[in-house]
Structure 1
Amino acid sequence: MDLDEVAGRLYALPPSEFTAAREAEARAAKDAGEAGLAREIAKLRKPTVSAWAVNRVVREHPDELAELLDVGERLRAAWQEQDADALAELTRRRAGVMGKLGRLVRQESGLSPAAAAEVDQTLESAIVDADAAGQVRRGCLVRPLSYSGFAPAPVPRERPAKRPSPGDEARKPEGGTRKPEDEARKREDEARKREEAEARRAKEREEAEAAHREWQAALESAQRERDERAERVAVLERKLAKARKRLTESEQRLGVARREERHARRRLG
């Protein structure tokens, strides 16, 4: 028995079962004479619900996860090479794989909106960051992952500059002015660049709006959960106050009864 083996068993469990199972594993290691391993097991931290959901994907949907991580690896390579065609295709594939995997997680794990958003954030991290991909692949996450910076996205393909051919200089009008077709080509290039820039801005805004909607839903869910728990605490505090009042009254009656009992005993004597 080694730590990786034990961790693999523990992080496959729901968070509600983790602590008891960890203690049992630590006791078993200690009883087997492996005190050092027992201490290491005891240090393993309980996973959050979203981390457990990702760990579950690793074990129950390995093919879908492998596809996601493969897309991420190819996407990072295409980004390094600035391959616009590959980036565009892989970005479409990423959306499809993320959507499929996200639906599986939500259907099977019963996550809150906030936890589901953390799962998406973790999977996105595995796509854009190789270290995060390695952590996800192990299936022993303790908390959700996040990344900073921009995710790989398609880059506009720039049209190579046209090399002047022999005789171009000779065909130029006197005074070095551009030909009408050159001016038209320039206007077309500028219009194309404007359209690409507008499309990028529209896509970035769409992604930002989608992220905002997700976190707004998570915020509302967290607020409702907090309000419900605050109300339960208030109810319990009111009950506790009443119980304390009744206890005080009982103590007062007990004091009176003791005093009267002593007086009665003295009269008997």
Structure 2
Amino acid sequence: MASNRDSGGYRVVSLVDREGPEPEPGQFYMLAAATGWGARDGRAFLPRAISVAETMPAAGGGIRLDFLLDAVGPGTGRLCDLEAGEGVWIVGPLGNAFASPREVAPGAAGAVLVGGGVGGAPLALQRKRFAERGIAHRVLLGFRDRAHTGGLDLFCGSSGALCPEVRLATEDGSQGVQGRVTDLLLPILAGDDAASGVIYTCGPPAMLEAIRALCAEHGVSCELALESPMACGFGACFGCAVPKPGGGFLRLCIDGPVLRGDAVEEVSHAYA
């Protein structure tokens, strides 16, 4: 573990992978601390599936991987407590990645990235890739309040200022527009040129389902980065299976975690 810093009430943990390939936006890793990882109060720790928020070359070789973490349980709590120099078991990159706008919709000219809470993490890396490739994009981020704007610094430019294409919404109005991130998205979907863009989104299940339904209603293509408890990350345990329209299941670890909106029957709270 290279570093561990605060980010708007969450933690950004930086790991160094000396051997693995560079991940693409949307892919994830299975993480477990090398020590202090086991049973607590009778509950065993499985590795945690965490998407990548940032990558860059590491000093001494390899890749630095940044992960945005919220201590919501004993596993993520242990990862948030990591100190520099501690070992971490890491497997990845796993799963698929976000497609380019024209791979999703052949006539697409740009994209809108919509994140909620720590779900902004994979979108930060996607925004970086879009900027490198000259793909027009906007970013909409929603948070509970100013104290929970974790990962917002991942959307800042080299000057440290928030990138101009980023708009914010908080439920209490303490930063940005008061309301939900879908309140920022709806006017875009209602615009005449909405179909010329692709929506990329990651966040809480209720937000993803709202965006999936809105995009379907307005005829706009979207990709959803879903999360689910995972024991293996390789498709063997079927712990992350989600229903497909018309029957059958998809395994998020190998068929996802990124899925087209029309490939999902409904985003359920059971996925999280």
The TM-score with structure 2 as length reference comes to 0.23
> Which is higher, the Rg of structure 1 or of structure 2?
1
The TM-score with structure 1 as length reference comes to 0.23
